[in-house]
Chains A and B, each alone.
Chain A
Amino acid sequence: GDSVTQMEGPVTLSEEAFLTINCTYTATGYPSLFWYVQYPGEGLQLLLKATKADDKGSNKGFEATYRKETTSFHLEKGSVQVSDSAVYFCALRATGRRALTFGSGTRLQVQP
């Protein structure tokens, strides 16, 4: 079946450090890929998405590139801020499926 694997957290960084959160997936066909962010006590917000191979999703300084050859969708940001502290979820939506399949989430803690 479909699955998403994320690196385990927490990831602790200093402000202005470079961020990478790894995400790999298993799915048949050509899924759409998403990153969602969950700030403390809140629901999930869509951060970015990519719908086909080599697409790059970007938003708020975050980027992720859909790599079909490595089945990956790693999240990156060049310079993190304290306000980026949150839990980040990678997710996929397989072709013909309504439901999203989520990874277990990666908690990011940014220290001033």
Chain B
Amino acid sequence: SQTIHQWPATLVQPVGSPLSLECTVEGTSNPNLYWYRQAAGRGLQLLFYSVGIGQISSEVPQNLSASRPQDRQFILSSKKLLLSDSGFYLCAWSPTWTGGGTDTQYFGPGTRLTVL
């Protein structure tokens, strides 16, 4: 069966510090990978998605970036954190894109980031 891991689970960082959040998926090959952010009391916003190694698409402009150095590894980064970057970051995966609407996305446990 497939599993998705995220770490760290919780992170408190000062404004202006760098960020690196990691997500890995086990039990599947060539998954589509996603980073979402959930701000306090709000829904989820898609930040990035990736259909393969080195292929990253950004949904919203921001000071975050994403990378996919390996097939089942997805990293979210920032060079300098802002207060507004605080939130709950969720990684998700779905099976290889087939163009249909039935593919389900499966979420990791999330990382709660607080920027002070």
Chain B residue numbers with a CB within 8 Å of A46 are: 104-106
Is A108 positioned at the interface, with any CB of B under 8 Å from its CB? no
Q: Identify A94's interface contact among B32, B101, B106, CB under 8 A.
A: B101
Contact B109 A102 (CB under 8 A): no
In the bound complex, CA of A102 to CA of B36 (Å)? 11
In the bound complex, CA of A44 to CA of B90 (Å)? 8
Contact B43 A102 (CB under 8 A): yes
Q: CB-nearest residue of chain B relative to A98? A: B49
Contact A51 B108 (CB under 8 A): no
**Given contacts A96-B99, A98-B97, A99-B49, are A45 and B43 in contact (CB under 8 A)?**
no
Q: Identify A89's interface contact among B41, B44, B46, B97, CB under 8 A.
A: B44
Q: How large is the interface on B (under 10, 10 to 19, 20 to 34, 35 or more residues)?
A: 20 to 34
Contact A95 B101 (CB under 8 A): yes
Contact B104 A34 (CB under 8 A): yes
In the bound complex, CA of A27 to CA of B110 (Å)? 28
Is B59 positioned at the interface, with any CB of A under 8 Å from its CB? yes
A residues 63-112 touching B (CB-CB < 8 Å)? 89, 93-100, 102-105
Contact B46 A30 (CB under 8 A): no
Chain A residue numbers with a CB within 8 Å of B106 are: 46
A93, chain B: closest CB distance, angstroms: 5
Which interface residue of B6, B99, B106, B107 has the most chain A CB atoms within 10 A? B107
**Given contacts A44-B107, A100-B46, are A31 and B90 in contact (CB under 8 A)?**
no
**Given contacts A43-B90, A43-B109, A43-B110, are A104 and B101 in contact (CB under 8 A)?**
no
**Sample (18) of A-B pairs whose CB atoms are under 8 Å apart:** A32-B101, A32-B102, A43-B107, A43-B110, A44-B44, A44-B107, A45-B107, A46-B105, A46-B106, A51-B102, A93-B101, A95-B101, A98-B51, A100-B105, A102-B45, A103-B43, A104-B41, A105-B43
Q: 4 closest Cβ contacts across the A-B interface?
A: A32-B101, A44-B107, A102-B43, A104-B43
Residues of chain A at the chain B interface (Cβ within 8 Å):
4, 30-32, 34, 36, 42-46, 49, 51, 89, 93-100, 102-105
